[in-house]
Amino acid sequence: MNIINVNASKDYRVIVGFGILHHLGEQLRTQYTDCKVAVVTDSNVAFHHLAVANESLTSAGFQVHTFAFPAGEPSKTADTFLQILNFLADNHFTRSDLIIALGGGVVGDITGFAAACYLRGIPYIQIPTTLLAMVDSSVGGKTAIDLPAGKNLAGAFYQPAMVLCDIDTLATLPEDVFRDGCAEVIKYGILYDCDLFAHLSEKGFNFDRQYVITRCIELKRDVVAEDEFDTGLRQKLNLGHTIGHAIEANSSYQITHGSAVAAGIAIISRAAAAWQHCTWDTSRRIISVLSAFHLPTKCPFSSEQLYHSMLSDKKRFGKTVNLIIPNAIGNCNIIPVAVEQLQSFIEAGM
């Protein structure tokens, strides 16, 4: 078991290990007494993991209420958000009670936002059950719901009281969802850590779960400690995402987030080599690790189509678009690219 301490506006621990869900009740008993627990989850995660969590919590003496909504991004709405708030109110939850988000990034984001808003803030614990949620969304306190106008348009920065990553829960994850998470893991290696990158290149899907998940969380922890409210360095976590979002949008969200990000990383790394920000060898190594994880390194859209989507992206600042560009494995920079140069820059990476 590894413990990572996060120092943000609230300090908390992230625990990474095996069998954590089975010992959830005992684990929480060390910190919480006489409180009610609301477990919020989705239909898939409820099927695989809710019974174990509930059994452990009730055996430890907690009074447990559960709320499960239909799995998937379409549930990350104001409607589900209100249902969660009403569920908490109907069951008389107070600020001395506790909410648990048991699931992937969708559950974590919407539950975190409900926790931030209910009674102006009630403690919540993240128990991420996807690789993406473990290494990315559960740590750092960004919570959100989608609006009809776009993804994550309403939300809050609200740090959890604790994050528990039970690696065993990944066993039930569909292969494509796991692969999507791998794109984010590879992203951390390219951004910050050539040893992590080398491990992923060597081991492929057989990477050491405990080492890799812990390392990614440590890296995210460092970014959050430096830029909790996303005004500067946290932008680096968008490596591959500006182009990735354009790919997702052009595909009407038929291409998954991880696949789109992987193609985005590949395009940006080829463009970086062509514009001499990095060597062609660096770009080839990035593309080779993405391929080893069966992630796409090309996209079916033209540079013109991507360019038009990128201009409507919320991360655009005036006449430039900030792109995260690799200089070497483990070292990337935020580079503002002029809007007039953007399409030819992308074209160089296609």
Question: Applying CB under 6 A, which residues contact ligand NAD?
Answer: 42, 44-45, 48, 71-73, 76, 103-107, 109, 129-130, 132-133, 136-137, 140, 142, 151-152, 169, 172-173, 177, 180
- Output the smallest distance, CB 263 to ligand NAD, in A: 17
Nearest-angstrom CA–CA distance, 254 and 238: 20
- Output the smallest distance, CB 184 to ligand NAD, in A: 7
Nearest-angstrom CA–CA distance, 344 and 287: 20
- Output the smallest distance, CB 171 to ligand NAD, in A: 8
302 vs 322 by CB, closer to ligand NAD = 322
Residue with token string 């996209």: 299
25 vs 181 by CB, closer to ligand NAD = 181
Report the sign of the C-alpha dihedral through residues 219, 223, 228, 231, in that order.
negative
Closest to 130 in 3D by CA, of 199, 74, 68, 213: 213
Q: Return the structure tokens found at 94.
A: 């107070």
- Output the smallest distance, CB 71 to ligand NAD, in A: 3
- Output the smallest distance, CB 328 to ligand NAD, in A: 25
Helix pair angle (209-226, 194-203), 10° resolution: 150
223 vs 266 by CB, closer to ligand NAD = 223
140 vs 349 by CB, closer to ligand NAD = 140
- Output the smallest distance, CB 174 to ligand NAD, in A: 6
71 vs 273 by CB, closer to ligand NAD = 71
Q: How many residues does the chain have?
A: 350
> How many other β-carbons are positioned within 10 Å of the β-carbon of residue 154?
13
73 vs 347 by CB, closer to ligand NAD = 73
47 vs 280 by CB, closer to ligand NAD = 47
Q: In angstroms, what is the C-alpha Rg of the chain?
A: 20
13 vs 48 by CB, closer to ligand NAD = 48
What are the E-state strand segments in 22-97? Answer: 36-42, 63-69
Q: Which residue is nearest to ligand NAD (CB)?
A: 105
- Output the smallest distance, CB 138 to ligand NAD, in A: 8
- Output the smallest distance, CB 61 to ligand NAD, in A: 26
Burial letters 324-350, b for 16+ CB under 10 A, else e: bbbeebbebeebebeeeebbebbbebe
Nearest-angstrom CA–CA distance, 126 and 39: 10
DSSP string, 83-136: HHHHHHHHTT--TTSEEEEEESHHHHHHHHHHHHHGGG---EEEEE-SHHIIII
